[in-house]
A and B are shown apart, each in its own frame.
Chain A
Amino acid sequence: DAGVTQSPTHLIKTRGQQVTLRCSPKSGHDTVSWYQQALGQGPQFIFQYYEEEERQRGNFPDRFSGHQYPNYSSELNVNALLLGDSALYLCASSLGTGDSEQYFGPGTRLTVT
């Protein structure tokens, strides 16, 4: 049973560029959430997708956008990258929007120079 997978593992971008991160949820899961984890901090909620729509959003600017596909996989897009966007980006999947726990992928380490 495949867990949550994310690609790429590491990424280095230049300030002002755009980046796309990808996530495949755990088999059987239909909800995907994205988090930003800065060094030494806890994960910060970016947004959640369910049934291909953004359902909840944290305090992140519109430069952060996402998408969910019919197979439940998801993308996180960040435009006009800033140095402060350097972080570990975590994808988490869960079943439905009820009380189920989230399963996290290993993350994508984004470095903006």
Chain B
Amino acid sequence: AQSVAQPEDQVNVAEGNPLTVKCTYSVSGNPYLFWYVQYPNRGLQFLLKYITGDNLVKGSYGFEAEFNKSQTSFHLKKPSALVSDSALYFCAVRENPGGYQKVTFGTGTKLQVIP
């Protein structure tokens, strides 16, 4: 069974500093990995995905994520945090049995960027 772990419930970072939100995964085959962001009282918004290819994936709003197969990790990063980045971040993994999507989400990490 596929699973995702986000070990930190909350991450605090000063504005302008680099940020990292951690994610590890477990799947039986090749992983399809995603990051989503959720602002208060809103649905989830897609940030980036890894399907295959380069291990460093660039996404929306200056975010990027690094896929590490040996460590089964897909950490979200940004070189310089903004106050507006404060939100709830979800890592998700998908297997592709028969071509239909069954996505498993982590429990989320609350990012707090301090002015």
Contacts and interface: CB of A to CB of B under 8 A. Distances in A.
Contact of A42 (B41, B49, B51, B108): B108
Interface residues of A, number: 28
Contact of A101 (B34, B41, B90, B102): B34
A90 B44 contact: yes
A81 to B, nearest CB: 22
B34 A90 contact: no
A57 to B, nearest CB: 8
Interface of A: 4, 31, 33, 35, 40-45, 48, 50, 55-56, 58, 90, 92, 94, 97-99, 101-107
Interface of B: 4, 32, 34, 36, 41-46, 49, 51, 90, 96, 98-108
24 contacts: A31-B101, A35-B105, A41-B107, A42-B4, A42-B105, A42-B106, A42-B108, A43-B44, A43-B105, A45-B102, A45-B103, A50-B100, A56-B100, A94-B101, A98-B99, A99-B32, A99-B51, A101-B49, A102-B101, A102-B103, A104-B43, A104-B45, A106-B41, A107-B43
